[in-house]
Amino acid sequence: MALDADNAGGMLADASPNHPLAKRMGVIAGLSHNFVIGTIMGAFSIMLAPAEQRLGISAEAAAAGIPLVLVGSSILAPFVGVLIAKVSLRLIMLIGALLAACGFALLGLTHSYVLYLVAYGLLLGPAMSLAGSIAPATLVTRWFGRNRGLALGLVHLPVVIAITPWLAERGLRVFDAQTIYFAIAAAIALVLVPASLFAIDHPPGGETVAPVAAGKRTSDGSLSVGQLLGRPRFWAMCLAAIASMASSVMLGSLLVPMGQSWGFTRAESALLQSLMSLVGIAGSILFGWIADRLGGGRSLALIGFDCALLWGLLLLHPPFAVTAIVIGLIGLHGAGAIPTLGRGLSDAFGQASYSRGFGLNTLIGLPFIAFSVIGSAKVFTASGSYDGAIMAMAGFFAVAMVLGLYAAGGRIARPAVEVAPA
C-alpha cells in the first residue's frame, strides 16, 4: 500500500542514521554554496562604483553583471541538473570553483567592458549554477536521509553573503578594486578548490529511486526531464516554492522604494530590507526542520498560507513597527523555500532525481521572478502605489498553499533495493 508524502513525514525523519561522512559532505556543500553565491552576490553592489570608474562606464552598464549571472545560471540549470546525474559531482563542483576563481581574476585583470560582461555571463554565471546552487544541494540530498531538510537549511545559511559587503567596503579603504577581486579569487582557489576534491559522489548505501516501476526509470533510478515535466505533482511543488522565491527577490529589489511609498524614510526602508535578510537566516533552519517533520508539500502549503496573510497585512499600510514584524516574518518564510523544496523533490521523486528537478525549478522560476520585479515596478508607475502588486503576490501565495497540499499526496521514493510499485 502506497504512503503519501505527508503521512510518511515522520517516518522519513526517523530513517536510519546518516553515513558518518554525511557531515563532512555537508560542510563541503556549505563552503561551495557560500563561497560562490556569497562572493558573487555579496561583493557586487560594493564593487559597482569602482567598476564604473575603472572601465569608464555608466552605473546602468556596470549593473548588467548580476542580471547576466542570474539569467545565465537559470538557463544553464536544467542542463547542469542532467549533467550531475551522469558525471562525477566532485568534478562538477571543482569546475564550478575554478570558473568562479577565474571569473574574479578576470574582473581584476580587465579594463574592457566586454570582458567584464564575459566574466559575469560566461564564468560566474555557470559557476553559480555548477558550484553555487545545484551541486551543493545535490550533495546534501544524496548523503542525508535523516534530517535532510535541516541539513539543506544549514547549508544555505547566507553567511558569506552577509559578511562580504562589509569586508569589501573596508578593503576598498586600503586597497584598490583590482586587489579586492584578486583576494576573492585567491580565497576561492585556496579554500573551495581543495574542498571540492574531498567531495564524494554517493554514499555507500546508494540513494532512493523514483517511485515507479524499474522499467520506467533511467539507469541511475531517476526520472528523466520529460518524465518530471509530465507530472502535475512536480509542477505543483515547483510553483509553490517559486512563490516564495519571487517574493524574496521582489522585496530584495524593491523594498526601499516600497517603504518610501508607504511614508517611511529611505533609512527606515533600508532597515526593513536588512531585517528581512537577517531573519531569513533563522528561517532557513526553521523550515528545514519543519520539512523533516511535515514533509515538503505540507511545509510549502504552510508557507503559502502564512505568506498570503502576511502580504495581505501590508495592504493595511501598518505603522513602521508592525511593518517591520511583517517583513521579518516574510523573510523568515521566504528563506524556507529551498530546504522545503529539496525535501519535497527528493521524497516525491527520489534522491536520484533531485538534481534534474532542482535544475528545472530554477529555469521555471526565472520568468515568474522577473515578472514579479518588473511587473511590480510598472504597477507603481501606472498607479502610484504597490497595492496591486501586493494583492497579486498574496493571491500567488494562496494558490501556492493549494498546490503544496496537492504536491503532498502520492507515493514516496524508496531505497533502490526495494521493489517500486508500478
How confident is the chain (422 residues) per 10-residue block, as mean pLDDT?
Answer: 40 64 93 92 83 86 84 88 87 96 96 94 93 91 87 86 82 91 96 95 71 61 83 94 90 84 88 82 90 92 96 94 94 90 88 86 89 87 92 96 90 51 35
Contacts of 249 (CB under 8 A, 6+ apart): 369, 372, 373
pLDDT at 13: 42
The residue behind cell 571569473 is 103
Choosing from 149, 169, 204, the residue where a domain stops is: 204
Amino acid at 349: F
Q: What are the two backbone dihedrals, phi and then psi, of residue 209, each rounded to the nearest 5 degrees?
A: -110, 170
- What distance in Å separates the CA atoms of residue 318 and residue 178, rounded to the nearest whole number? 45
Check which CATH number belongs to the domain holding 89 and give it: 1.20.1250.20
With a CB cutoff of 8 Å and minimum separation 6, the contacts of 48 are 59, 62, 63
Considering the domain architecture, whether residues 196 and 232 belong to the same structural domain is answered as no
The verdict on residue 11 lying in a domain is no
CA separation for the pair 29, 316 (Å, rounded): 41
Q: Which residue has the cell 538557463?
A: 75
Mark whether 182 and 241 lie in a shared domain.
no
Residues 289 and 378: beta-carbon distance below 8 Å: no
Q: The domain containing residue 278 runs over which residues?
A: 214-415
**Domain identity same for 260 and 323:** yes
Q: Number of structural domains, the chain?
A: 2
Neighbours of 261 (CB within 10 A): 16
On the CB side of 169, how many CA atoms lie within 13 Å of its CA? 8
| Pair (183, 248) in one structural domain | no
2 lies in some domain: no
Res 92: pLDDT: 94
Cell of 94: 571543482
- Model confidence, pTM: 0.79
Residue 250 has a pLDDT of 86
Q: Is residue 103 in some structural domain? A: yes
Please report the pLDDT score of residue 199 as a whole number: 94
pLDDT at residue number 218 = 67
Query: Are residues 222 and 102 part of one domain?
Result: no
Q: How much is the pLDDT for 252?
A: 77
The domain boundary, picked from 204, 223, 254, lies at 204
Are both 131 and 200 inside the same structural domain? yes
Is the residue at 310 inside a domain? yes
Q: Are residues 234 and 181 in the same domain?
A: no
Q: Do 326 and 398 share a domain, yes or no?
A: yes
Query: Do both 220 and 264 map to the same domain?
Result: yes
Q: How far is CA 107 from the centre of its chain?
A: 25
**168 is a domain residue:** yes
For residue 5, tell me if it sits in a domain.
no
DSSP tag of 208:
E
Task: Give residue 70's pLDDT.
Answer: 84
User: Which of 374, 87, 57 is closest to 202 using CA atoms?
Assistant: 87
Where a domain ends, among 204, 225, 250? 204
Residues 199 and 255 in one domain: no
Burial readout 229-253 (b: 16 or more C-beta within 10 A, e: otherwise)? bebebbbbbbbbbbbbbbbbbbbbb
Q: Do 286 and 355 reside in the same domain of the chain?
A: yes
Indicate whether 4 belongs to any domain. no
* 39 and 143 assigned to the same domain: yes
- Please report whether residue 209 resides in a domain: no
